[in-house]
């Protein structure tokens, strides 16, 4: 299942457009990373992609069906979102939280044995089996982030959208997370993740998209997109990144004072 | 919202069910005439099967005590449920329909109706109360939609309109003249005028509330994660907010029109039960209805027996019980917001 933005534009205020005719396809079986400086419209694009925001022009389609014509539950059955951050003070246990991911599939709120199996599997995939009976509010930032991912996995959508998913994770859990994302894509899901980490994330992605000021600057392989000229244009800083084989990366920042 | 340590809906339901039976029995037995428990069943069975009251005890039991008990149960259950719905709508454990201005809005209509009862039929008083309650809710909703964050705007608009309605009520009391005592007594909240007709009005409303809120319970659970996450998980957040608002407005307006303003039940009962058995609305909603029914029936039984033959407006008693509990909640949990 492919999720496609067709020339979408969006503005919260008419005189300040956030997205300008953006076209992007989140393809099944592919991990796409979306890069760009703060405020360039990455999160807004994500909200448009799952129908939370309606573009002022253009449309978002899920295998040719307009997302804005679908109900919230219908979208949630196909598209799962991992938000940048979740409210901390939610009065549910981790198990109850992950079960909320089954809401769009539920019948009158009854939990089937299948739902329970899916929840257990999602918890297991983010290495959080032992957290099941703890309260969500008692978890650390990294643990909450893993539970947010487990909720999205429990939705069993065909598209996974992640908004800075690794921001609260330590290096070990980041690697674990990227491995999981690759595994999810290999199972046929389309994955799009908004990232700030231009060094680690590209190692695990098939395609990179670089945004600036509401437009896509370039899309393609990491070495083509994250080249010094593009990075300087997008972020306004000089950086050279060299990718080797077998998850090797070297970076040079000539402007950093010695 | 604070999390809970216990999560045993069955146990809490059993305790409340037992309490309900006990309070119900005491309430049937006590009052201006004490009726022995062994007589109650026989007398009620006789009235139901033969459809006649032989003596004054039958009259009191069937025409005064039973409708009052039934109305207390139904209004208490409805107040508990609408309180829980308000707390979920605002994602704030200290919210209640009163904060949204619905109760004070309904009170204005009732007070105007009572003042004008020389010119208009008395039966119009509840109708006026419901109309003004719904008008205020609609106004609050319109104002809230124009604001930024729906929950916060709703709260602020509700407080402002509520204050406006209170001043209207105070103005009405100022010009009430010889009707002042009646109005003040009504405003304090009470069930002394309960009739079977009131019960017939309240019964379908309470049942509809219970069914509708039970159906909305899974979406209400998801809504505690915040508007954006709830939307991502498949909840139509705007529709849910509208549905809850309509249910709260209609149920509270009708309840206020029948019993006056009885505070704290919708605030205290959902909060205490959430502490006891967790925040899962699928279990919490019916238990809250039961808890509200028990508390109002218990308070009303006390209100009409503790200084018999006179009686205390039940609103005073619920406030006496509720205010310290409310303060305890504030001190213990700081009135913390959830989902923010």
pLDDT in tens, A175-191: 988 999 999 999 999 99
Does B275 lie at the interface with A, CB-CB under 8 angstroms?
no
Token representation of residue B197: 């007709």
Longest alpha-carbon distance in chain B: 64
Average pLDDT over residues B315-338: 73
Q: Which residues in chain B have Cβ-Cβ distances shorter than 8 Å to A132? A: none
Residue B7: pLDDT band with limits 50, 70, 90: low
Least confident of A60-64, B4-8, B279-283: B4-8
- Residue with more model confidence, A99 or B48: A99
Q: In Å, what is the CA distance from A71 to each residue of A68, A83, B27, B210?
A: 8, 20, 50, 26
* B279, closest residue in chain A (CA to CA): A91
Angle at CA of residue B316, ends B100 and B37, nearest 5° = 115
Distance linking the first and last C-alpha atoms of chain A: 49
Share of chain B above pLDDT 70, in %: 93
- pLDDT of res. B295: 94
DSSP designation for A111:
P
Q: Are B266 and B82 a contacting pair, CB within 8 Å?
A: yes
Q: Is the dihedral of CA A173, A175, A177, A180 positive or negative?
A: negative
CATH of domain B9-333: 1.10.3470.10
B117 against B264, higher pLDDT = B264
Indicate if the pLDDT at residue B192 is higher than 50: yes
B1: confidence class by pLDDT, cuts 50, 70, 90: low
Indicate the Cα dihedral angle A99, A100, A103, A105, nearest 10°.
-40
Q: What are phi and psi of B216, to 5 degrees?
A: -85, -10
Chain A: which residues have CB within 8 Å of chain B? Answer: 50, 52, 71-77, 80-81, 83, 86-87, 89-92, 96-97, 100-101, 103-104, 106, 108-109, 135, 137, 151, 155
What whole-number distance in Å separates Cα of residue A224 and Cα of residue B199? 75
Whole-number average pLDDT of chain B = 85
Hey, are the CB atoms on B279 and A87 less than 8 Å from each other?
A: no
Which residue ranges form the domains of chain A, and what is each CATH number? 3-87+156-252 (3.40.50.300)
Q: What chain A residue is nearest to B224 in terms of C-alpha separation?
A: A90
The overall pTM is greater than 0.90: no
Which of the two residues, B6 and B67, has the higher pLDDT score? B67
Residues of B with Cβ-Cβ distance to A90 under 8 angstroms:
1, 224-225, 338-339
Residues of A with Cβ-Cβ distance to B280 under 8 angstroms: 92, 96
Question: Cα separation of A218 and A257, whole Å?
Answer: 29
For residue B206, pLDDT beyond 90: yes
pLDDT score of B77 more than 90: yes
| pLDDT values of chain A reduced to their tens digit, one per residue, 258 residues | 889 999 999 998 888 889 999 999 999 999 999 999 998 999 999 999 999 899 999 999 999 899 988 999 999 999 999 988 888 888 899 999 999 999 999 766 678 889 999 999 999 998 888 888 899 988 988 888 889 999 999 999 999 999 988 877 888 888 988 999 999 999 999 999 999 899 889 999 999 999 999 999 999 998 899 999 999 999 888 888 888 777 788 888 877 666
**First vs last Cα of chain B: how many Å apart?**
10
| Per-residue model confidence as pLDDT tens digits over A223-247 | 899 999 999 999 888 888 888 777 7
Residue B160: which of B175, B142, B173 has the closest Cα? B142
Is the Cβ pair A72, B235 closer than 8 Å?
Answer: yes
C-alpha distances out from residue A4 to A8, A23, A25, A53, A68, Å: 10, 7, 4, 15, 12
| ipTM attached to this prediction | 0.89
Closest CB to A96: pick one of B219, B280, B338. B280
Q: Which residue of A has its CA nearest to B234?
A: A73
B50-75: average pLDDT: 87
Closest CA–CA distance from residue B286 to any residue of chain A (Å): 15
Between B231, B274, B338, which is nearest A89 by CB?
B338
The answer for residues whose C-beta is within 8 angstroms of residue A26's C-beta and 6 or more apart is: A2, A3, A4, A32, A49, A159, A161, A190, A191, A192
CB count within 10 Å of CB B229 equals: 24
Using an 8 Å CB-CB cutoff, list chain B residues near A163: none
């Amino acid at each position: 299942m492919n999720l496609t933005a067709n020339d979408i534009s969006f503005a919260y205020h008419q005189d300040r457009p956030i997205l300008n005719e953006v076209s992007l396809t989140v393809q099944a079986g592919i991990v796409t990373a979306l890069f760009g400086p703060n405020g360039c419209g990455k999160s807004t694009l994500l909200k448009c992609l799952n129908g939370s925001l309606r573009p002022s022009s253009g449309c978002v389609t899920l295998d040719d069906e307009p997302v804005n014509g679908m109900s919230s539950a219908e979208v949630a059955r196909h598209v799962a979102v991992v938000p940048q951050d979740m409210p901390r003070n939610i009065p549910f246990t981790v198990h109850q939280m992950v079960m909320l991911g089954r809401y769009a599939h539920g019948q009158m709120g009854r939990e089937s044995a299948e739902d329970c199996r899916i929840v257990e599997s999602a918890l297991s995939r983010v290495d959080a089996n032992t957290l099941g009976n703890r309260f969500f509010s008692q978890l650390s930032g990294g643990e909450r982030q893993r539970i947010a991912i487990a909720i999205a996995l429990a939705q069993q959508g065909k598209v996974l959208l992640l908004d800075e998913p690794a921001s609260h994770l330590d290096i070990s859990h980041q690697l674990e997370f990227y491995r999981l994302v690759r595994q999810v894509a290999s199972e046929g899901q389309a994955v799009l993740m908004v990232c700030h980490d231009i060094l680690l994330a590209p190692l695990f992605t098939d395609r990179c998209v670089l945004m600036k000021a509401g437009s896509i600057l370039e899309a393609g392989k990491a070495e083509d997109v994250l080249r010094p000229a593009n990075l300087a244009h997008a972020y306004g800083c000089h950086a050279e990144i060299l990718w080797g084989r077998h998850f090797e990366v070297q970076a040079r920042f000539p402007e950093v004072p010695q | 919202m604070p999390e809970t340590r216990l999560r045993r809906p069955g146990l809490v339901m059993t305790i409340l069910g037992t309490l309900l039976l006990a309070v119900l029995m005491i309430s049937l037995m006590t009052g201006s005439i004490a009726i022995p428990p062994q007589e109650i069943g026989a007398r009620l069975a006789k009235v139901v099967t033969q459809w006649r009251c032989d003596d004054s005890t039958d009259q009191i039991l069937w025409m005064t005590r039973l409708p009052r008990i039934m109305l207390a149960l139904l209004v208490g259950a409805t107040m508990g449920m609408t309180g829980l719905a308000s707390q979920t709508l605002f994602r704030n454990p200290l919210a209640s329909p009163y904060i949204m201005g619905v109760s004070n809005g309904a009170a204005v209509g009732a007070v105007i109706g009572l003042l004008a009862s020389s010119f208009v039929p008395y039966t119009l008083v509840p109708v006026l109360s419901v109309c003004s309650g719904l008008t205020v809710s609609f106004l609050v909703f319109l104002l809230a939609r124009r604001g930024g964050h729906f929950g916060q705007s709703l709260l602020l608009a509700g407080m402002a309109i509520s204050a406006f309605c209170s001043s209207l009520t105070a103005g009405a009391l100022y010009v009430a003249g010889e009707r002042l005592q009646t109005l003040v007594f009504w405003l304090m909240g009470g069930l002394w005028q309960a009739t079977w007709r009131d019960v017939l009005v309240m019964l379908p409303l309470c049942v509809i509330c219970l069914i509708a809120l039970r159906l909305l319970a899974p979406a209400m659970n998801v809504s505690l994660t915040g508007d954006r996450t709830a939307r991502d998980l498949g909840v139509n957040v705007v529709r849910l907010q509208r549905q809850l608002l309509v249910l709260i407005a209609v149920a509270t307006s009708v309840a206020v029109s029948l019993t006056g303003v009885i505070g704290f039940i919708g605030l205290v009962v959902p909060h205490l039960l959430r502490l006891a058995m967790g925040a899962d609305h699928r279990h919490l909603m019916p238990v809250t209805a039961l808890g509200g029914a028990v508390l109002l029936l218990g308070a009303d039984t006390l209100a009409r027996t503790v200084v018999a033959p006179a009686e205390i407006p039940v609103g005073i008693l619920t406030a006496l019980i509720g205010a310290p509990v409310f303060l305890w909640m504030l001190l213990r949990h700081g009135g913390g917001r959830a989902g923010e």
